[in-house]
Amino acid sequence: MKRIVLLASGSGSNVENIANYFKDNSLVTIASVFTNKRDAKVIDRCNRLNINCLFFNRESFSKSDCLLNIIKSMDPDLIILAGFLLKIPKNFVTAFPKKIVNIHPALLPKYGGKGMYGMHVHNAVKNNNEAETGITIHYVNENYDEGAIIHQAKASVFKEDTPEHIAEKVHALEYEHFPKVIDQILSN
């Protein structure tokens, strides 16, 4: 049995998509979802899906080993950042080498780094008149969005596309690719 832990800060549509993908797979289980936002929609989704979802505060994550020890006790095979917006501290990167995977809503190394998340990314892509955008699934290291790339997928951006259209295309790519890539990593 493979155990995954997910960290999310927002709506959690990727969490739901991943949960649905694995729901009939008896070899993979979601040990828990963790969120740093008390009012994140992901909490409602997890309640509806009957998935354990725990809130943590920033200090327990960034300034101590508190959350690290809780997650270690769950013995995860993979920690998945599904719309998680805090920087991963060094103690996590050291404790879980090649076991923390992030999805970023752009074609890294473009549009990565601090402050580049969600609609900020799609607005920047639009403002720069990019002809394409996409997703990047990558391992997490100590720097924002700089870990080794595992998988990328692209979508065209047309002149008439708004940032919201771009967001929709990127989400569609995320839903299609992220669970499959997680599945592949777990199988290796």
Residues near ligand GAR (CB under 6 A): 8, 10-14, 82-83, 103-105, 117-118, 170-171, 174
Minimum Å gap between C-beta 136 and ligand GAR is: 9
Minimum Å gap between C-beta 50 and ligand GAR is: 19
Minimum Å gap between C-beta 116 and ligand GAR is: 6
Minimum Å gap between C-beta 69 and ligand GAR is: 25
From 104, 122, 151, 165, active-site residue: 104
CA-closest candidate to residue 174, choices 15, 10, 5, 4: 15
Q: Where are the beta strands (DSSP E) in the chain?
A: 2-8, 28-35, 53-55, 78-81, 100-104, 132-139, 149-156
Whole-angstrom distance, CA of residue 83 vs CA of residue 102: 8
Strands 149-156 and 100-104: unpaired
Residue 96 or 111 having the CB closest to ligand GAR: 111
- Annotated active-site residue 177? The verdict is no
Q: Please, which residues have CB within 8 angstroms of residue 124's CB and are 6 or more apart in sequence?
A: 111, 116
Residue 125 or 170 having the CB closest to ligand GAR: 170
Residue 14 or 71 having the CB closest to ligand GAR: 14
- The position carrying tokens 């996590």 is 92
Instruction: Report the alpha-carbon angle 58-66-72, nearest 5.
Output: 120
Which residue number has the CB closest to ligand GAR? 83
User: Which residues participate in catalysis according to the annotation?
Assistant: 104
